[in-house]
């Protein structure tokens, strides 16, 4: 008499272990209720609203950016530019008078050049400020776009979370062993 080879051990998943079912049912019921409320409430029920300070800061950033681009408000440097040009013109006229050549063509050309250089300094600064304003406006827009995208993605995010919970349920497993074969 002898015996044959052994069989394979088979693991079979048959469902949720009985001891976990009451807990799982309660949790899944809560998760299902929350998911349904979130979806029914729309993105505002899922994504945290912006803090009022964030909204205010974005509004201020947008306003200052527009002022910088247009050269208005705190970025209006027209009066400073005029004062600077008058100072250059006054200094040039004073120097020309002291030298006795108030009307010479060279003196006038030098004054024109000095005025143009001074005006160009303001123009260069104005362009930098305007570009900074454009950048700030873009950043404010990007922040709002990202927030709005989170709101659009919120139902998907909630569903993904919900199905993640469903997939995490403990499973009941059984093992069966293969037996050998007896023969004579």
What is the structure's pLDDT at 37?
A: 80
Return d(Cα 128, Cα 35) in angstroms, integer. Answer: 49
pTM assigned to the model: 0.46
pLDDT higher than 70, residue 180: no
Beta bridge partners, 135, equal none
Rounded Cα–Cα distance for residues 180 and 76 (Å)? 95
| CA 101 to chain CA mean position, Å | 62
Q: Are 39 and 184 in contact (CB under 8 A)?
A: no
Query: Encoding tokens for residue 96?
Result: 């020309």
Residues forming beta bridges with residue 173, ordered by sequence position = 13
- Position 13 scores a pLDDT of 63
Higher pLDDT, 119 or 141: 141
What are 86-123's pLDDT values in tens digits? Answer: 877 777 665 655 555 555 777 777 777 777 777 778 77
- DSSP helix/strand/coil, 176: strand
What's the CA gap between 148 and 87, in Å, rounded? 51
| pLDDT band for position 4 (cuts 50, 70, 90) | low
Element (H, E) at 14: strand 10-15
Model pLDDT for residues 27-84, shown as the tens digit of each residue:
778 878 877 887 787 777 677 777 778 888 888 888 888 888 888 887 787 887 788 8
Cα distance between residue 14 and residue 30, in whole Å: 24
CB atoms within 10 A of CB 68: 23
Query: Largest Cα–Cα distance of the chain, in whole Å?
Result: 138
Residue 6 confidence (pLDDT): 55
């Amino acid at each position: 008499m002898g015996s044959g080879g052994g069989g394979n051990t088979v693991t079979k998943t048959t469902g949720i272990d009985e001891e976990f079912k009451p807990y799982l049912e309660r949790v899944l019921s809560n998760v299902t209720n929350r998911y349904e409320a979130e979806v029914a409430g729309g993105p505002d029920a899922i994504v945290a609203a912006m803090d009022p300070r964030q909204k205010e800061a974005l509004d201020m950033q947008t306003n200052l950016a527009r002022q910088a681009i247009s050269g208005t408000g705190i970025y209006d440097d027209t009066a400073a530019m005029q004062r600077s040009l008058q100072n250059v013109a006054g200094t040039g006229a004073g120097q020309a008078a002291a030298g006795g050549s108030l009307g010479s063509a060279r003196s006038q050309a030098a004054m024109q050049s000095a005025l143009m250089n001074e005006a160009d300094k303001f123009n260069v600064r104005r362009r930098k400020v305007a570009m900074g304003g454009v950048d700030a406006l873009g950043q404010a827009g990007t922040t709002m776009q990202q927030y709005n995208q989170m709101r659009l993605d919120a139902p998907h995010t909630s569903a993904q979370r919900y199905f993640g919970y469903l997939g995490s349920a403990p499973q009941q497993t059984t093992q069966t062993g293969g037996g050998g074969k007896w023969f004579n």
